[in-house]
Structure 1
Amino acid sequence: MQLPYEVYIGLRYLRAKRRQRTISLNTFVSVTGITLGVAALIGTLGIMTGFKEDVQAKIIGTTSHIIVQDRTKDGIEGYAAQVQQVEQVPRVVSATPFVYKQVLLSSQAGVQGIILRGVDPEREARVTELAKNMKMGRLDDLLKPVPVTVPTGTDNQTEKALRPGIILGKELSFRLGAFVGDAINVVSPVGPVSAVSITPKIRTFAVVGIFESGMYEYDSSLAYISIDEAQKFFNMGQTVTGIEVKVEDIFQAGDIAKDIEHALGFPFSARDWMQLNRNLFSALKLEKTMMFLLLVLITIVASFNIVSTLTMIVTEKQREIAILKAMGATRKAIMRIFMLNGLIIGLTGTVIGIPLGYAFLWLIEHYWTFDPTVYYISHIPVHVQAVDVVLVSATVLSISLAATLYPSWQASKLEPASALRYE
C-alpha cells in the first residue's frame, strides 16, 4: 500500500540533512517538550486520583454508605420496623441504628470535645469497617462491663468498679493519655435541669479498645459506646439518632437512597456518602481540574517550539513548495504536509510521554515512603484512570494540531513565481 505523497513529503521534511541540523534539533526539542508535558499531566492526575480514592476509602471505612434520619425530629422512635424496611430495599446489604451526640471527654491529662457514637457492635461490623480498624481490643468488648480503677471521692482513695466500655480513636487516646484499661469520664452538657441551671451529666467509662481509620479527623474526634449505654446516658429511651446503611455498589448509593426514601415515606430522609462529604469531594475535584489546566500550559509552551520548527521548515523549503505547487499541488495539500509534521511531533511526544508518566508514578509509589505515624500514609497512593489518559492524549494532540495552522497557512499561500524568480 503506497502512502499519499503528503505523508511521504511531511516525514521527509522532519529528517535533517547536513545543512539542516537546526531543524532536526528544533524537532527534537519540540518532541521533548510535548513528552515532558504529557508525563507531567499523567503523573499529576494519577496522584490526584490516588489521593481522592484513598480519602474516599477511609471515609467509607468509618462511616456508612447511607444515613437515614427523621426530617421533623432529632431521633427515630420504634426504629426496629424502619431497620427491617430498609434491609428489604433492593441492593441494600445491611442496616443498623446509631446514636450521635457531642460530648466532652475528660481524663487526668486533659479535656477534649468529641463526637460520641452509640452502636450495636454486632450490626456495626456488617455496615462499616470499624471492627477491621481496631488496633487494640475488639468491638464486642462494648457489650460487657469492665473492672476499672475509679476514685472513691474521699482522701484520694480508689477502688475497683465495673464500668461500661468505650472505644477511642488513636489520636484521641494520645491526646487524653487514656489507653486500654484506663478510666475516662464522659460529660454531657445537657443533664438534669435544676432551679438555677442545667447540670452537666457525668459518667465514667472504661477504655476497652483503640481504633485507627487513617483519617486524622476521625481518629482525633470519635469515640464509640454501645447503643444501650448511649440511650441510658442521654435519656433517649428507645429512640436513636438514625440508621446506617451499607449497599452493594457505593457509586449507586444515591439511587438506592431515593429507593429507601420511597420505601419509608415521609418524614424520613436518606443521604448517601457523597452528599454527606460533598464539600470535601468538590474541593478535590476542583483541585484536580485546576492542576490539569495549569499543567496544560507546559504543553502550550512546547507547542511554540512546533510553530518555530514548522516556520523554519517553511522558510527552508520555499523552493520545494513552489515546485510542488507548480506541479499541481493544491493549497490544502500543502497545508496537510505541514499539519502532518506538527501532528507527528505531538503524537511522538504523547507515545513517549505516557509510559514515561507511568514509570514516574511507579517510582513514586514504590520508592517514596513516609513515616505513617506522622503522615498517616506509608506511600503516595497512585491510580491512573483510562479516561485521564484519553483526555491528556486528546488535549495534547489538539494543541499540537492547532500549533500547525499558521505555518501551514503561510506555506499554502506561497506563490511559485515569487519563490522561483531567482532560481
Structure 2
Amino acid sequence: MTLPYEIFVGLRYLRAKRRTRTISFNTFISITGITLGVAALIGTLGIMTGFKEDMQAKILGTTSHVVVQERGHQTMAGYTDLVTKVEAVPGVIAATPYIFKQVLLTSKTGVQGIILRGIDPAKEPDVTEVADNVKHGNLNDLANPPAVTKDDGSLATPQPGIILGKELALRLGLFVGNSVNVVSPVGPISALGMTPKIRPFQVVGIFESGMYEYDSSLAYISLQEAQKFFGLGHTVTGIQVKVTEVFAANAIASRIDDALGLGYSARDWMELNRNLFSALKLEKTMMFLLLVLITLVASFNIVGTLTMIVNEKQREIAILKAMGATPKAIMRIFMLNGLVIGLTGTIIGIPLGYTFLYLIENYWTFDQTVYYISHIPVHVQGLDVLLVACSAILISFAATVYPSWQAAKLAPVSALRYE
C-alpha cells in the first residue's frame, strides 16, 4: 500500500532547510505553543474540578442529599410516619428528622450567633458524616453526656450535651467539658414582652468538617433537647434523607414529592446550594474560554509558519502544479502540515498537563491550620481532556485554511517566470 504523495511532501516541508531530519525552528515554536496551551488547559481544568469535588464532598459530609419540609409551615408534625414513607421510596437509603434554629451562644470570652441543629444521634450517621467529623468527643454523648468533675472533686449533674464546630469553639474559648449558654430570642411572653430563653449546655464534642462556614457557625444538640428547648412538642423542622446516587438526588426528590403529596416539598443538595455550584461551573467555563486564547495565539504561529513555507516553496509548488497536482492536492499538503503540528502539540501537551497536576498534588503543600487543606485537590475528567484535545486540533486545522488557499491559487507561470 503506497501513501499519497501529499503526505511525503507535507512532512518534508516541516523539516529544516538543510538536508537533515530535524524540524525547522518555526515548526518547533508552533508545536511548543500548542503543547503549552493544551498542558495549561488540562492543568487548570483538573484543579478546578478537584476543588469543586472537594467542596461537594465536604458539603455532603455535613448536610443530607435531600431535605423534606412541610409547605407553608415552619414545623412538621407526624414525622415518624413520614420517615417511614420516605424510606420506602426507591433510591432512598435512610431518613431522619432534624430541627434547624438560629440562636446565640454565650461564654466567658464572647458571644456568637449560630445555627443550632437538633439531630437523632442514633440515626444521624446513616444520613450524614457528622459522626466521622467529630474530632474530640463522641456523637452519642449528645444523648448521654458524661458527668463533669467539680473543683472539689465531686461529680456535677450532667447538662444537656452540645457539639461545636472547631472555629466556633476557638472563638468562644471552649473545650470539651466546658459549659456554654444557648440563648433563643423567642421565649415566653411576660409583662415586659417576650423574654429570651437561656439554658446551659455542656460541650461534649468538637467537629471539623473542613469548611469554615460550617465550623464557625454550626452546633448540634439532641433532637429531644431541641424539642424541649424550643417548645416544639412532637414536631420537627423537617426530614433529611440520604440517597443511593448523589447526582440522581433531584429525580429521587421528585419521587418523594409524589409519595408524600402536595403538602410537602423535597429539595436536593444541588438545589439548596445552587448559587455556589453555579458560580463554580461559570468560573470553570470562563477559565476554559480564557485559556483557549493560549491555543489561539499558538495558531497564529501556525499561520505564520505555513505562510513562510508557501513563500519559500513557490518554485516547488509551481513544479508540482506543472506536473499535474491539483489545487486541492496543494491545499491538502499544507493542511496536513497544520494538522501534524496540532496533533504533535496535543500528544505532548496531554502527558505534560498530567505531570504538572501530579507535581502540584504531591509536592505543593499548605499549612492546614490556615488554608483548611493540606494540598491542592486534583481530578482530571476524561471529557475535559477530550474537549481540550479536540479544541486544540480544530484550532490548529482552522489555522491552515488561509495559507493553504494561498498556495492552491498560486499560478505556475508566475512562480517560474524568473527562475
TM-score, reference length from structure 1: 0.96
Residue-by-residue CA offset, 1:321-346 (whole Å, 9 max, x unaligned): 11111112111111111011011001
- Listed as ranges, the matches of 1:360-399 within 5 Å are 360-399=356-395
Query: Which of 181, 187, 196 matches 2:183?
Result: 187
Aligned length in residues: 417
Instruction: Look up the match of 1:11.
Output: 11
Query: Which of 197, 200, 213 matches 2:196?
Result: 200
Residue-by-residue CA offset, 1:67-121 (whole Å, 9 max, x unaligned): 0001121111010000000000011000000000000000001000000000000
1:22 and 1:422 mapped to 2: Cα distance? 30
Residue type of the partner of 1:83? V
Cα drift, residue 5 of structure 1: 1.1
RMSD: 1.7
Q: Are the aligned partners of 1:23 and 1:312 in contact in 2 as well (CA < 8 Å)?
A: no
1:221 and 1:422 mapped to 2: Cα distance? 83
Query: Which of 258, 277, 281 matches 2:277?
Result: 281
Cα drift, residue 161 of structure 1: 3.2
Q: Does 2:253 match 1:257?
A: yes
2:328 and 2:27 mapped to 1: Cα distance? 23
Instruction: Look up the match of 1:128.
Output: 128
Residue-by-residue CA offset, 1:25-48 (whole Å, 9 max, x unaligned): 110001011101100000000000
Q: Are the aligned partners of 2:47 and 2:378 in contact in 1 as well (CA < 8 Å)?
A: yes
Instruction: Look up the match of 1:50.
Output: 50
Q: Are the aligned partners of 2:166 and 2:215 in contact in 1 as well (CA < 8 Å)?
A: yes
Question: Identity over the aligned pairs, expressed in percent?
Answer: 73
1:74 and 1:52 mapped to 2: Cα distance? 32
Q: Does 2:221 match 1:225?
A: yes
Residue type of the partner of 1:269? S
Q: Does 2:62 match 1:62?
A: yes
Residue type of the partner of 2:267? R
Q: Are the aligned partners of 1:30 and 1:345 in contact in 2 as well (CA < 8 Å)?
A: yes
Residue type of the partner of 1:194? S
Instruction: Look up the match of 2:115.
Output: 115
Moved more, 101-110 or 194-203: 194-203
Instruction: Look up the match of 2:86.
Output: 86
Instruction: Look up the match of 1:24.
Output: 24
Cα drift, residue 7 of structure 1: 1.1
Residue-by-residue CA offset, 1:297-331 (whole Å, 9 max, x unaligned): 11111111101100110001101111111112111
Cα drift, residue 160 of structure 1: 3.1
Residue-by-residue CA offset, 1:113-158 (whole Å, 9 max, x unaligned): 000000000110110000111101111001124444899xxxxxx9
1:141 and 1:223 mapped to 2: Cα distance? 14
2:109 and 2:9 mapped to 1: Cα distance? 80
1:68 and 1:129 mapped to 2: Cα distance? 19
Instruction: Look up the match of 2:165.
Output: 169
* Aligned-partner SS, 1:121: coil
* Aligned-partner SS, 2:157: strand
Residue-by-residue CA offset, 1:319-376 (whole Å, 9 max, x unaligned): 1111111112111111111011011001100000000000000000000001111111
* Aligned-partner SS, 1:271: strand
- Listed as ranges, the matches of 1:327-338 within 5 Å are 327-338=323-334
Q: Are the aligned partners of 2:15 and 2:21 in contact in 1 as well (CA < 8 Å)?
A: no
1:99 and 1:410 mapped to 2: Cα distance? 73
Query: Which of 295, 299, 302 matches 1:303?
Result: 299
Instruction: Look up the match of 1:154.
Output: none
Cα drift, residue 17 of structure 1: 2.5
Cα drift, residue 162 of structure 1: 2.4
Q: Are the aligned partners of 1:100 and 1:118 in contact in 2 as well (CA < 8 Å)?
A: yes
* Aligned-partner SS, 2:226: helix
Cα drift, residue 246 of structure 1: 0.3
Residue type of the partner of 1:47? I
Residue type of the partner of 2:139? L
